[in-house]
Structure 1
Amino acid sequence: MSRILEQGEIFFFYQPRVGVEEVRGLGDVARFSFILKPDRKRRYRRVIVGRKRLPEPDHHEREWAFVYEVVDDPEKLKEDLERREYETNTRGTRVEPEARPVGEGRYAIVDHEGHTHLAYVLELPREPGPAQATFGVRPEASFVMAIRNPEAATPPGRGLPPHARAQYPPELMERFRGRRFAPVDDPRFLDQPGAEVVLIGAAEDVEDELGIELDPEHLELDAAAVFRTLRFRPDEIPVDPLERGELR
């Protein structure tokens, strides 16, 4: 049996390294992230994925990620995703390129047989290409998702430093029961910047594994939610990855 805890829109973005205009692989990428926008809520959670790609469902790979920011206005998200120029003492003007959308669709957080899953189905691009393959963004996928106890010890150099970890209210801390990880059985865990999660690749067929339908729409680019929900203009971001699946 599966129980949907939350549904909404999901957006995948990658940002090139400073000074890189044409991305040819992960070495040219500074960060890869996804944004969760729950239905009927003014909330936008941006989650940064550690190794800049989603884990492979077929091999049940694990990947660490953390909630970078949570805002109630998409304009605040755009400030971090837009092109930025700044001056340095040694190298002069440096350019941090704007982020590129590499996928959007529908997601659900699902309680399933004692675990919590993050599942999604893409709406765009219509035909995934090299850009999606680079970041492991499949047409649909499901990941077991667990939240890390911010009070649990971690090996040196792993995860966020203690001062950057989420500060949960007592009712959420109680859900850990002293464990290092807990299911994300309350989506409020993800409303705290510094929340650390582990994603474990589970399956490529969401309906077959979880018994749920996410009902993606067959969108054209001009109806993309990145414009409608996140309020980008088509001239503000490169859309080749979202429209044709091409790296840019």
Structure 2
Amino acid sequence: MTTGTRRSPAYEGRRVTMASDVIERGDIYFAYRPRVEQERVHGIGEVQRLFVILQPSRDKRSRRLVIGRKHLPQPEEHERFWGFVDEVADRPETVAEDLGRRRYDTQTRGERTQPEARPAGEGRYALVRHGDHTHLTYELELPEQPGDVQEALAIEPEASYIIAVKNPEAGAPAGAGLPPAQRADLPKRERERFEGRRFTDADPGLLDQEGIEFVLIGAAHDVEEELDVQLDAEAEDAESAEIFRRLRMPREKHPTEPLTKGEWR
């Protein structure tokens, strides 16, 4: 799947001329994991993965998404980036369990250490149906003033992306996307959504499938102007940050500076 920069046909000529329908709201969290043995991160080149965690307001389940390019698409450039749903769990803390420090043995290098993930943003999100496509939108609550971390990861204070889900049965260029064995095995009802097409608009039912692949297309910075939707973000600080309480990411084990000050750690 290509992820180059180009304007999506779904984006052409679009402003608030179509009705917008919010189909899900909740909390959104961003976190990055350093490369193996990289105890201190100084820039995006030392980042292994960028995670986006969605916690719906009316449901206990959580989703952990992986963004393939290790940073989000630039809204003003209308970039297209590939990603996938890495895990769906009934308890929010479950999706954070794999974000802790890990040690494992290798045959050639002995014991290796995978440092713990660093929280890099917290806010409110909405999935919004807009005409024949769906947007993933968000507004940050932390950090109050985005810094070097957010700039490098393209985590904007507020942004909107078109999100389209890829048919797991559709082919992909060699070396692109998930291996077939890791792709979602969809129930019949969800398979029928595609009607033989390669992509369809995203909805909660499809995003609740582990291994489902998607494309994020940068759309706009101002969610209210574009979609006439308010995200009800509230002021937060390190003490009230939901990412530590709801996901049970202990402050003493996960550096807080990227979340509160926008500084690399």
- Provide the TM-score with structure 1 as the length reference: 0.97
Q: 1:204-226 deviations in whole A, cap 9, x for unaligned?
A: 00100010000101011100011
**Paired-residue identity, %:** 53
- Structure 2: any 5+ residue segments left out of the alignment? 1-18
- Structure 1: any 5+ residue segments left out of the alignment? none
Please give the alpha-carbon distance, in whole angstroms, between the structure 1 residues aligned to 2:108 and 2:117: 25
Please give the alpha-carbon distance, in whole angstroms, between the structure 2 residues aligned to 1:232 and 1:80: 11
Task: For 1:158-237, list aligned pairs within 5 A.
Answer: 158-184=176-202, 186-237=203-254
**SS of structure 1 residue aligned to 2:190:** helix
Please give the alpha-carbon distance, in whole angstroms, between the structure 2 residues aligned to 1:78 and 1:173: 29
Identify which of 39, 46, 66 aligns with 2:84: 66
TM-fit CA distance, 1:88: 3.1
**SS of structure 1 residue aligned to 2:244:** helix
Tell me the number of residue pairs that the alignment of Structure 1 and Structure 2 aligns.
Answer: 247
Which amino acid letter does the alignment assign opposite residue 241 of structure 2? A
Please give the alpha-carbon distance, in whole angstroms, between the structure 2 residues aligned to 1:99 and 1:201: 25
Please give the alpha-carbon distance, in whole angstroms, between the structure 1 residues aligned to 2:136 and 2:107: 44
Give yes or no for the alignment of 1:103 onto 2:137: no
TM-fit CA distance, 1:87: 3.0
Q: Which stretches of structure 1, 4 residues or longer, exceed 6 Å deviation after superposition? A: none
TM-fit CA distance, 1:128: 0.2
Does the 8 A contact of 2:93 with 2:246 survive in 1? Answer: no
Please give the alpha-carbon distance, in whole angstroms, between the structure 1 residues aligned to 2:216 and 2:188: 24
Which amino acid letter does the alignment assign opposite residue 221 of structure 1? A
Give yes or no for the alignment of 1:31 onto 2:49: yes
Over 3 Å counting, the alpha-carbon distance change for 1:162 and 1:89 in structure 2 is: closer
Does the 8 A contact of 2:27 with 2:123 survive in 1? Answer: yes
TM-fit CA distance, 1:114: 1.4
Please give the alpha-carbon distance, in whole angstroms, between the structure 2 residues aligned to 1:97 and 1:32: 14
**SS of structure 2 residue aligned to 1:146:** strand
Which amino acid letter does the alignment assign opposite residue 92 of structure 1? G
Please give the alpha-carbon distance, in whole angstroms, between the structure 1 residues aligned to 2:193 and 2:162: 17
Please give the alpha-carbon distance, in whole angstroms, between the structure 2 residues aligned to 1:169 and 1:108: 25
**SS of structure 2 residue aligned to 1:134:** helix
Which amino acid letter does the alignment assign opposite residue 243 of structure 1? T
Please give the alpha-carbon distance, in whole angstroms, between the structure 1 residues aligned to 2:137 and 2:117: 23
- Provide the TM-score with structure 2 as the length reference: 0.90
**SS of structure 2 residue aligned to 1:157:** coil
**2:140 counterpart residue number:** 122
Which amino acid letter does the alignment assign opposite residue 188 of structure 1? G
